[in-house]
Amino acid sequence: MSQKDKAMRFRSLHRKGAPLVLYNIWDAGSAKALADAGATALATGSWSVAAAQGFADGEAIPLDFLLRIVERIVQAVDIPVSVDFEGGYATDPADLAENVRQLIQTGAIGINFEDRVVRGEGLHPIEVQAGRIRAIREAARQADVPLFINARTDLFLNADPTAHEGCLTEALQRETAYAAAGADGFFVPGLTDPGLVRAIVSAARLPVNVMMRGTLDRIAIAAELGAGRASYGPGPYRSAMADLTARYRALT
């Protein structure tokens, strides 16, 4: 399957109420294991990829090293691979576009792209982040790959859950701006209240990606709320490492 065909296939898997399930992987071995188990698509988790190589999250793993890992993952499987690209390893749109071009060259067909200021404070202003998404879309257009841009907002991730309802208006403003800039999906990690997830899904133009945690503990719940994508973030890596250490301790 060509890279373009993989990108189109990946896009088609995002269906409201029948979410694409992405049990996040971190290397070629975990990618091949899930592909062999029947996964229709794969996505890395930035925390997991970094931890598997001894790095902290937050673009601590060098870009060239990340690109080599992604290239090896893509070579190991014949299904679509999306990459958690954090903030794109750049703030300036031109530098960001160059980094995305390099990522596309690995064979990846999608990215998560967050609005948090990596290694800084707070979130990028809405129009600034929209401009960055436009730069990514143009880089993908020039590469002739319909890259799936999953625009992530960190409004909910580190906020007190009691404040989540107050974030809805800004979240939807961001979704509208990101969609107009060329995003294909809207990711709301940290938002687990069913009523608030439903409110986002109902108002959003884009397929909504939820992270499976807390009350979102079954795919059936994400589907009932209308999510178009359900992912697991660092959970799979943490579970795998917990199993590894438990098995080792049981030897003694």
Tens of pLDDT, residues 45-80: 999 999 999 999 999 999 999 999 999 999 999 999
pLDDT at residue 11 in the model:
98
Confidence (pLDDT) at 210: 98
Alpha carbon distance 6, 144 (integer Å) = 13
pLDDT digits over 151-161, tens only?
A: 999 999 988 99
- Rounded mean pLDDT of 141-159? 96
CATH number at residue 7: 3.20.20.60
pTM, two decimals, is: 0.96
What is the 8-class DSSP label of residue 162? G
List residues bridging with 25 in a β-sheet.
44
The tokens for 28 are 């070629």
CB atoms within 10 A of CB 192: 20
Number of domains in the chain: 1
Per residue in 4-24, pLDDT (tens digit) is 999 999 999 999 999 999 999
Q: Residue 202: CB partners within 8 Å, gap ≥ 6?
A: 226
Instruction: Name 152's Cβ contacts closer than 8 Å, sequence gap at least 6.
Output: 112, 113, 114, 115, 186, 187, 188, 189, 209
**Could you tell me the end-to-end alpha-carbon distance of the chain, in angstroms, rounded to an integer?**
47
pLDDT digits (tens, 9 = 90+) for 179-225: 999 999 999 999 999 999 999 999 999 999 999 999 999 999 999 99
pLDDT at 252 over 90: no
Residue 147's domain spans which residues? 3-249
Sheet containing 81-84, strands listed edge to edge, beginning at the edge strand earlier in sequence = 20-22, 229-231, 208-211, 185-187, 148-152, 110-114, 81-84, 42-43
